[in-house]
Amino acid sequence: MSRGHVFITMGDITHLECDAWLLPTDERLAITDGWFEALPELQERLDRTDTAVLRTGDTQAAPLAPGGDGPATVLATVPLEGVLDASGIEHIEASVREFVECAAHMAAAPRHERTKRLLALPSFGTGKGGGAHLRGQLAERLLDVCTEMASAHDVDLAIVLRDERSFARMQELRKRRAGWQSDLSQEQVADAERLARLAKSGRLVPFLGAGTSMSAGAPSWHDLLDRLADDVGLDEKQRKALEKWGELDRAAFLRQRTIERHVEQGRTSQDAEAAFADAVVRLVDVPRYGLAPALLASLRTPQAITLNYDRLFEKASDDAGLPRVRIPDGETAETGDAWLLKLHGSVDRPASIVLTRDDYLGYASQREALSAIVKANLLTHHLLFVGFGLADEHFHRIVHDVRRALPQPASMAERATALTLTDDPIAAELWKDQVRMRPLGSGPEPDGRAVEVFLDVLVAYATDAHSYLLADDFASSLSDDERRLRDALRRLEDELEQVPASTAGHAQATAMLAALGRRQPG
């Protein structure tokens, strides 16, 4: 089994599905208002927590009293006087170590059958903790200690960031380290670099399947049907008989059985139809996203497509600072808007969900325009299929139509890549010259974590922002060459303030400096 991995992602740590996460505080148990807004039950949980060891300074991390069925929370302290110098940074390092040790003991087994426990932490000590001027140094040391603890405790650590500058700098610092992508083979690294180039050029379009939501507790298609069968009370004999049918027909049977039961209870056919849709929503509408949606959202691609009903990718995109117009929802995507095409409906519009054979048969007549968007993307962009078994009938039809539309001898494999969990020779043969298959799992059982690690490396290669360069917060971590570049840009910045804004090229120069972290005038 591979060693623990350190992930870096944009997101909201309170929205990430993990085993445990770090909540910053200090010896006085001071916690910033934002955490109370994100966690309405926080004060009640604090009241039930034994915080004596934190108040006395005997330890720097302690578990918060449990609340609900979500991830465990561990309180970890920043220095009482703030992160002012090297000793403050050492305090943060010690807090991270104690957090990992505490959380590793709390989480005996990974949630949702993940192969390693996932622990998450923000980049803390840089806000009310007082270390904003040392943000760059803190980022370097945080990477060091997380790498050390992931290996020592065989856990995965996710550094979850809300600030794009911190995210960009953390990625740049990581890419300087020898062997940072060593969890992948050389061939997989080459694939990640190839896809990253497509992402940076705006040509990569993630296409999300059910597998991207399973680490958050959402069911696979098979599990969804099993749970619907539980709802209608099928006995063992009926279940075995049903298993002989294809999944679309099984879904149709369960839908019909659900409707019949509700009609027998005196409900109208329309209400009974709605009850089945609501049952599907209840099973797939999980509250927190896993790493795959968070990392795909961190790619910040202009376009994305999904067959999933849940809203996990939308939530992750909001948290990554790139809200998406959703199609179709009556929303109009303006030029420059990021969008998400939901081909099979959404939990917040239950009647739109495509699940049974009748739904699929009606799909072509009702949603031909949506299929045309996918076909156009296959012709002009590169689709990255994540979380698919590549058995979806609608997917097959789209690929077939696009292949027919392509000029010969153009290869579909240059337009689509599928990240798969196992090396399936049958799938490889079936999809040869149509989709570039990239198996990532190494063991006998499918392992979604392998896809997460690949996506993490892909996101790192695709991150090409440098908004930290002119920001004072990160000056302490710049290399000598970066400092020389920063000084040259500062001189340009000063000169630009003396040039009239109406001068040709002024707007472009201003935009360039803003992208590199220019101070706001005045």
Return d(Cα 322, Cα 178) in angstroms, integer.
31
* Count of residues making up the chain: 522
Give the strands of the sheet with 61-63, arranged side by side. Answer: 6-10, 156-161, 118-122, 20-25, 72-77, 61-63
Residue 4 neighbours by CB under 8 Å, 6+ apart? 116, 149, 150, 151, 153, 154, 155, 156, 157
Which pTM was predicted? 0.92
Q: What is the pLDDT of residue 414?
A: 80
* CB of 62 closer than 8 Å to CB of 53: yes
Q: Tell me how far apart the alpha carbons of residues 63 and 262 are, in angstroms, rounded to a whole number.
A: 45
User: Cβ(310)–Cβ(350) under 8 Å?
Assistant: no
**Segments making up each domain of the chain, as ranges:** 6-195, 198-215+291-462, 221-284, 481-515
Domain at 198-215+291-462, CATH from 3.90.198.10, 1.10.3720.10, 3.40.50.1220, 1.20.1530.20: 3.40.50.1220
**E strand segments, 87-201:** 118-122, 156-161
Instruction: Chunk the chain into consecutive blocks of 10 residues (it has 522) and report each block's average pLDDT, rounded to whole numbers.
Output: 88 97 93 93 94 91 92 92 82 95 85 91 73 79 95 96 92 92 93 97 93 91 90 89 88 93 90 91 95 97 93 97 85 73 90 85 68 76 85 67 67 82 77 83 71 97 91 84 92 90 90 84 52
- pLDDT digit string (tens) for 508-517? 999 999 889 8
The pLDDT tens digits of the residues spanning 329-374 come to: 755 656 568 999 998 899 998 988 988 888 877 766 666 777 777 7
Superfamily in which the 6-195 domain is placed by CATH: Leucine Aminopeptidase, subunit E, domain 1 (3.40.220.10)
Average pLDDT along the chain: 87
Contacts of 254 (CB under 8 A, 6+ apart): 225, 228, 229, 232, 276
Cβ atoms of residues 173 and 143 within 8 Å: yes
Q: Summarize pLDDT for 245-288 with one digit per residue, the tens.
A: 888 899 999 999 999 999 999 999 899 989 999 999 999 999 99
